[in-house]
Chains A and B, each alone.
Chain A
Amino acid sequence: MKILPIAEAKAKLSQSVMATMTAKALGLVLFGAVAMAAAADFPPLSDTTPTGEHFPGKFIWADLFTADPAAAQAFYTGLFGWEATTIERPTPSGTHSYIVLANGGEPVAGLGVLPPRRQDAVHGRWVGYVSVPDVAKALAAATAKGGRVLFPAKDLPRRGTQAIFVDPEGAELGVLHSSAGDPGEYAPDTGDWTWAQLFARDPAAEGRFYASVAGLDVLPDTRDDRPDVFVLASGGYSRASVAPLPPRPKAKPGWLLFVRVADVKAAAANAISLGGRVLVAPSDAPTEYWRAVIADPTGAVIGLVQLDEPGQPKEQP
């Protein structure tokens, strides 16, 4: 056995300890990376109150595609009190951030980042997702009726199968079959998605399209003397409306998604202070007090809806 000088032995021992520590540290880093990768999965849609049920025709998710996710995150967390969690997803060229927005701990929406080359050219865009029993069948129905697939059906871990298409008039919508069940059929709380409206050139034809794609019933809106306005319903509940395009030369068909707020006027004022713009201002008119339409700092358009009449105490769900 070779006897080493004390200094050399100390050095060897030190190297050995260092090697062990390095290996342990590397192990910890790898473990951490695996743990982070696992934690970076998408949250289930009904995260805190799992239903295990599906409600076809219900709007159950929304993604905002934006070139400025930081500005969008600051805006929506400030306006609706949503909480943000960033998920880093690997791509061939690096990582891609996806931000999950939650309302009271319940995931309600995501922020997807547009590529840098499009940042100056693109408005942010909200895309809603409707629950369907079978995404492939929904896409087949959409393409058979004149739609076009934008994002083919993909299985996303813990979320489910989803796809995005444009309808025959060019409006984008997603379809989703959640793996953990859809959010429950509850009265929307403040900060929850509440309503959706499609502005269309031919509301009746578009209604028929969505009836075949998402199994929605098309009902004439009997509340007003407007034969060109329809309500889309399923499961005994109204889900959305279809109405004519605004009379503007460049108006483009599209979906508008609404979030419930306690006070539309206060929320619109808050939107301005957060860098947004008001496109349809709240009004004191008895038939119009309930809504406003705003654009966030990235140009994405979203609706605000107040379910309680002014002066009426807020309903406690």
Chain B
Amino acid sequence: MKPAAKRVFTLLALPAIAFVLGGCLPFLSGYGETPVYGEYGYVGPWDSGRVEVEGGYVVAPPYTRSDRGRRDEDSRGREAVAPERRAPVQRTAPRPIPSIPNNPRPARQSGGSPRR
């Protein structure tokens, strides 16, 4: 085969190979559609590779025990102070990280399995 013909063949073949491989990708990698709730439709496609977390920095949930009572006292205290006597707001200070929800839960109404 002449070099020029070989070059043309290569130029034509590469996109064809890429097209074929691209078409197979959904089946090879798991891309595709996922049914959701039967007749309600499908999800997808998405990258179904596993989420890798090993070696990553895992952030702890900020959790402080229930402070419902303390919050109420704090808010009453703030209201009692006249506006002009309140401390100036520190705009540049970072906002504190609030807790995750920490209000006491009422007893669940139905049984279920014993708590683990």
Contacts and interface: CB of A to CB of B under 8 A. Distances in A.
Contacts of A12: none
Given A89-B37, A117-B27, A243 B96 contact: no
B46 interface: yes
A65 B62 contact: no
Contact of A90 (B39, B42, B52): B39
Interface string B41-80: 1111111111111111111111101100000000000000
B97 A219 contact: yes
Interface residue range, chain A: 35 or more
Nearest to B62: A238
A310 interface: no
A152 B41 contact: yes
A98 B36 CA distance: 8
A280 interface: yes
Given A118-B32, A199-B53, A246-B54, A105 B101 contact: no
B109 to A, nearest CB: 4
Tell me which of B94, B96, B112 has the highest count of chain A C-beta atoms within 10 A of its own C-beta: B112
Interface residues of B, number: 60
Contact of B94 (A49, A156, A219, A254): A219
A301 B51 contact: yes
A48 B108 CA distance: 7
B55 A246 contact: yes
| SS class, residues of chain B in contact with chain A | loop
Contact of B105 (A81, A89, A317): A317
A125 interface: yes
A164 interface: yes
Interface in A140-176: 150-152, 154, 156, 164, 166, 170, 172
A248 interface: yes
Contact of A114 (B27, B34, B105, B116): B34
A191 interface: yes
Interface of A: 42, 48-49, 58, 63, 65, 77, 79-83, 88-92, 95-96, 98, 102-106, 112-115, 117-118, 121-123, 125, 150-152, 154, 156, 164, 166, 170, 172, 184-191, 194-195, 197, 199, 217, 219-223, 226, 229, 231, 233, 236-239, 241, 243-248, 250-252, 254-256, 258, 261-262, 267, 279-280, 287, 290-291, 293, 295, 299, 301, 303, 305, 307, 315, 317
8 contacts: A117-B32, A185-B101, A187-B104, A188-B100, A229-B57, A238-B99, A256-B53, A291-B58
Interface of B: 27-30, 32-63, 65-66, 94-106, 108-116
Q: Which 4 A-B pairs have the closest CB atoms?
A: A89-B38, A105-B110, A246-B56, A254-B51
Given A48-B108, A184-B101, 20 more contacts: A49-B109, A82-B113, A104-B113, A112-B36, A114-B35, A118-B30, A118-B32, A121-B30, A152-B41, A219-B95, A222-B97, A237-B100, A238-B61, A243-B56, A246-B55, A252-B50, A262-B116, A290-B60, A293-B53, A293-B54
